[in-house]
Amino acid sequence: MSTIVIPVIIGLAFGWSLHKAGMTRYHKIVNVFRFTDLAVLKLMMAAMVVGMGLIYTFVGFGWVTLAISTPVYVLGNFVGGLVFGVGMAGAGF
């Protein structure tokens, strides 16, 4: 049960905040690459700063263990990012 209910609830909050930040709009995504609307960057940085603070607080209390799912593979991570960016700027997703 919790393997379904919890991800759906987390997803609700996730999708909600993405829509409220305007991430469902083509121009919001593309304009970050044109430096005319930095909402994507603001959202990412705000989420990362808040998330980092909370997660490392939880780690400090020993409540969670980090769950890094992507191993470091310098070329793969970087080249994957390069390919990803082409699709993102083209489609605006």
Partner 1 sequence: MSVLSTQKDDVQQEPTPHSNWFMTQIRKKEWSPYAAGTMLGITVALSLLLAGQLPGSSGSFENLIAFLGTKIDANNIYFRFIMPAGITWQVWLMLGVFLGAFFSAWLSHDFRWRKMPDKQWISVFGTARWKRWLIAFLGGTILEIGAGIAGGCTSGLAISGGVQLAPAAFLFIPGMFISGIITAAIIYRKNY
Which residues in 6-65 contact partner 1 (CB under 8 A)? 6-22, 24-27, 30-34, 36-37, 39-40, 42-55, 58, 63-65
* Per-residue interface string for the shown chain with partner 1, residues 70-89, x marking contact by CB under 8 A: xxxxx-xxxxxxxxxxxxxx
| Structure token digits, residue 63 | 């409540």
Residue 3 within binding range of partner 1, rule CB under 8 A:
yes
CA–CA dist 66, 77 (Å, integer): 19
Residue 66 within binding range of partner 1, rule CB under 8 A:
yes
| Structure token digits, residue 43 | 């959202």
CA–CA dist 52, 59 (Å, integer): 10
